[in-house]
Structure 1
Amino acid sequence: MSHRVYRVAVIGTGRIASTLEDDPYRTHPCTHAGAYALCPNTQMVAVCGRSREKLDRFTARWGVRAQYTDFREMLAREKPDIVSICVHPTLHKDMVLAACENQVKAIFCEKPIATTLEDARVMVDACRRHGTKLIINHSRRWGNIYHEARRLINDGLIGDLLHITGYCQGSMPRRGLIPDSVFETEGPMLHDGTHLYDMFRFFAGEVAWVQAHVQWVKRQAMEDTCVNYVAFKNGVTAVGFVNQRTDYVRFELEFQGTEGRITLPDFSVWRSRPSSRFEGYRELYLDETIKKPEDNNWFVDAVREIVACIEEDRDSISTGEDGLAALEMIEGFYRSEKQGGRRIALPLVD
């Protein structure tokens, strides 16, 4: 990596842009601004938001000299190399298109990529045509534990991968921490389930078809809970449990192979060997020789990779196409529910 410093502009002043750094329990940095501040190759030069009060707090905290309330004006005047988009996904498309038109080199866009497939496709196409790197913040793609687990699976440590089970529960912030409008346009599948579906693809590849049971129990605009079934082109299957009805947060993955299993994020590896309880059978035993990889900061490594993608002219490990694929799975789940649980083939043709 060179010693060049890239000019960064941030659109948004909220939680994932900056204020989650106030959470004393999180690993820091845990925001776009926090990661840019620690990277020697990036310098934040401008921020855009709707509230002057929040803009003032952002600029004071991060030493950013310029603030704007119009993202188009900011992009035209500042000509940043990198833009972070940290606002509601219904606003992503116009911001991505404006960044492309202003020759931005890379866009670090929050998940989900958009709320409609049409918007997402327009975004991906525009970035490809303009040569702009579009990186979607499905943050676990930069996690050491997920890369090492995938390596072990691909190396055959647990035999052939058969099934993945995933849980994403209770992860939407409570009302008051985020605008009420979010609860009317994003259910748990869009808000955080997108991380789970992206991880399914990260480990199992391209999807053949999806199926779902989606429920609207307490919430009227968006779903409360859903059970998702995913069949991959390589024969692997996955089941996801995503809801906003638990009073606790849970994100877990289990990988079942023909000769063992791995669970994340605890990184437990269970391997098959002759049973000590039943003659002629094999059981799973915890392999304590396989240690959990050293923790890394996903946000910092994401920013480092963005710089590398610019300098090496390569795609990210979390591309716009990956974001589009996750959104397509979610749209497939909704369509499956509307059609009585029917299988929906991917990619969608309309």
Structure 2
Amino acid sequence: MKPTKIKTILIGLGRIASKLEKDPYRKKPCTHMGVLMSDWGKSQFDFLFGFDTSPEVCLEFQNQWKTQSETVFPGPYVKNNSSTIDLAIIATPSHTHEFYAKKCLQLGIKNLLIEKPVAMSKRGAKSIAKLAKAKKARVWINHERRYHPSYVFVRDELKKGNFGILKSIRASVFTSAKNPGIAFSKFGGGPLLHDGTHAMDLIHWLVGKPKLIFAKMERPKKGMVETRAFACFESKPNVEIVLDVSGGRDYFQFEIDIHTSSHRIICSNDGFQFFESAPSKLYKGFQSLKLYQPKQFPKPESSNAFLGIYKEIQSVIHGKSDHMEGTLSENIQILESIESIYRH
């Protein structure tokens, strides 16, 4: 018997929810609606309604997807049908995540997918977790790189020891202060919280929760959010980690640079590069790093992170699996690491 489609609502209809699907350069689907309206998404999910506080955004959403939306949550539809909703996706601005998550849990919705960061603080995330436990609900956080086949390949090969012994990680997230968006807004949280959370998530995913050794914050004026956060961590066994999250660039760059005893792997928005130890052509008797391509590295056409998290959600809701990647407990630890940098 074919499983029943997962009845889904979307809260917040902006960039990551819908608008970025119009970006001609991004691999599709690249938004929540892009997945839900894809051929696979339509076969697994029954999209019911969208919500956004902006009438203009709602109208644009309706014209783009030929579906309904409301400007007030929970609205009459959800009030009357909350018991039949299987999944709520929260893609609103970060400072509202906690509010909408609690509203959905109080309505009895048993599965939530929340955009990162889950809340503006560890305290807020714990509050969501407490209510979710009481309501026996499941909560995913969309750190989508965990589901990207290329990142999964690197993590699996590291775990198997095929890239040698992990020695160090340098994670960098560089953004432009000319167009900072929500990260520099009045609602709080600078680039470390809003953008650096992706890098911190991957660090936790690769080595577990690290110990902070040193941190430095740069702020243009007292009381303002940071323009740069620089931190050094260490994790067992003896992995040194550097995190640099900075604004003021004329470009956007996300990169994880991994060094092992025999390899170097660069994972970035510009692609992945692999280097292995080989006899040097520059220095006799020395080893150098040689660029190469692993045979099992995923092909570009198979690399889509958004499909990955939705396939996991579909599998868990239908009882085919109980494995969840972006859990609340992990994200509470990520916020603990971020807050330790702010406090240092």
Q: Same fold (TM over 0.5)?
A: yes
1:78 equivalenced with 2:81 (yes/no): yes
Say which SS state the counterpart of residue 163 (structure 2) adopts. coil
| 1:346 paired residue number | none
Alignment match, 1:103? 108
Who is 2:306 aligned against? 299
Q: Which runs of structure 2 are paired with 1:303-318 in the superposition (5 Å)?
A: 303-312=310-319, 314-318=322-326
Q: Does 1:61 align with 2:64?
A: yes
8 A Cα contact 1:184 1:221, kept in partner: no
Q: Are 1:142 and 2:147 an aligned pair?
A: yes
Counterpart check, 1:229 vs 2:229: no
For the aligned residue pairs, the C-alpha RMSD in angstroms reads: 2.4
Kept in 1, the 8 Å contact 2:29–2:35? The answer is yes
Question: 5 Å matches for 1:97-246?
Answer: 97-170=102-175, 174=179, 178=181, 182=185, 185-217=188-220, 221-246=224-249
Do the aligned residues in 2 keep the contact of 1:213 with 1:228 (CA within 8 Å)? Answer: yes
CA contact 1:210–1:333 (8 Å) conserved in 2? no
Report the Cα distance in structure 1 between the residues aligned to 2:285 and 2:182, rounded to whole angstroms: 59
Say whether residues 1:327 and 2:335 are aligned partners. Answer: yes
Post-superposition Cα deviations, 1:205-237, rounded to whole Å, max 9, x if no partner, equal 222335311101379621001212122233322
- Residue by residue, what CA displacement relative to the aligned partner does 1:247-270 show, whole Å, maximum 9, x if unpaired? 101011111111221111332222
TM-score by length of 1: 0.87
What amino acid maps onto 2:289 in structure 1? Answer: L
Code of the aligned partner of 1:300: L
Q: Do the aligned partners of 1:211 and 1:332 also contact (CA within 8 Å) in 2?
A: no
Match of 1:272 among 265, 268, 277: 277
CA contact (8 A) 2:9 2:89 kept: yes
Decide whether the 8 Å contact of 2:122 with 2:332 is kept in 1. yes
Query: Is contact 1:184–1:222 with CA below 8 Å preserved after alignment?
Result: no
Shift in alpha-carbon separation, 1:82–1:316, aligned structure 2, 3 A: same
Measured in 2, the distance between the counterparts of 1:172 and 1:314 equals: 41
Per-residue CA deviations over 1:274-325 (Å, capped at 9, x if unaligned) read 3344344322222345464123221122222111121226242111222222
The DSSP-based 3-state class of the residue aligned with 2:195 is: helix
Deviation digits for residues 136-160 of structure 1 (CA, Å, limit 9, x no counterpart): 1111011011010111111212311
Q: What's the secondary structure of 1:159's corresponding residue? A: coil
Q: Matches of 2:106 and 2:112 in 1, distance apart?
A: 12
Distance 1:206 1:288, change over 3 A: same
Secondary structure class of the residue paired with 1:231: strand
| Contact 2:114/2:141 (8 A) holds in 1 | yes
Check the 8 A contact 2:171/2:244 in 1, yes or no: yes
Where structure 1 has 5 or more consecutive residues not aligned to the other structure, the ranges are 337-350
**Any conservation in 2 of the 1:18–1:34 contact (CA below 8 Å)?**
yes
Give 1:283's aligned amino acid.
S
Contact 1:37–1:43 (Cα < 8 Å) also in 2: no
* Structure-2 separation of matches of 1:290 and 1:254: 20
Moved more, 258-267 or 54-63: 54-63
Distance (Å, rounded) in 2 between the aligned partners of 1:299 and 1:139: 6
Cα shift at 1:110:
0.6
Aligned equivalent of 1:30? 30
Cα pair distance change 1:172/1:19, threshold 3 Å: farther
Give the match for residue 291 of structure 2: 286
Distance in 1 (alpha carbons) for counterparts of 2:233 and 2:155: 18
| Structure 1 letter corresponding to 2:111 | A
Q: Distance in 1 between matches of 2:226 and 2:92?
A: 21
Q: Distance in 2 between matches of 1:315 and 1:119?
A: 24
- Encode CA deviations 1:143-193: one digit per residue, 9 max, x unaligned: 011010111111212311010011111167826xx4697365131111111
Corresponding letter in the other structure for 1:318: G
Query: What is the SS of the residue equivalent to 1:255?
Result: strand
Moved more, 133-142 or 69-78: 69-78
3-state SS in 2 of match to 1:104: coil
SS in 1 for 2:37: helix
C-alpha displacement of 1:25: 1.9
Tell me how far apart the structure 2 counterparts of residues 280 and 194 of structure 1 sit (CA, whole Å): 42
3-state DSSP of counterpart to 1:245: coil
Letter in 1 for 2:52: G
Identity %: 26
The amino acid that maps onto 2:308 is D
